[in-house]
Amino acid sequence: MTQNGARDDFHEDAIRKIAYTLWESRGAPIGSPDEDWIEAERQWREGGHDLRADGQQPGTNVEEVAAGQCA
């Protein structure tokens, strides 16, 4: 897998988790999953959601902090 492919997977996983959280917060209604996905993408792009694909908060992975990889 290329680095870009891994990054895309990371973003998709993070967006999926945000969308799921949004869906749950709306009472887990049946149908219209696109609403939550679009809102999750918007939140991810704007950086308004502190959730990483692995479930950790940004800046908490010791190896990433040491390597200067955290935003």
Query: What angle, rounded to 10 degrees, do the helices at 3-25 and 33-46 form?
Result: 120
Strands (E) across 1-71 are located at: none
* Residue recorded with tokens 């918007």: 42
Q: Radius of gyration (Cα) for the chain, nearest Å? A: 14
Residue 68 burial by Cβ neighbours in a 10 Å radius (0-12, 13-18, 19+): exposed
Token pair of 18, please? 């945000």
| pLDDT for res 9 | 77
| pLDDT for res 23 | 93
Task: Give pLDDT tens digits along the chain (71 positions).
Answer: 456 666 677 789 989 999 999 999 999 999 888 999 999 999 998 886 655 545 554 544 445 545 555 44
| pLDDT for res 49 | 62
| pLDDT for res 28 | 92
| pLDDT for res 67 | 54
What DSSP designation does 71 have? -
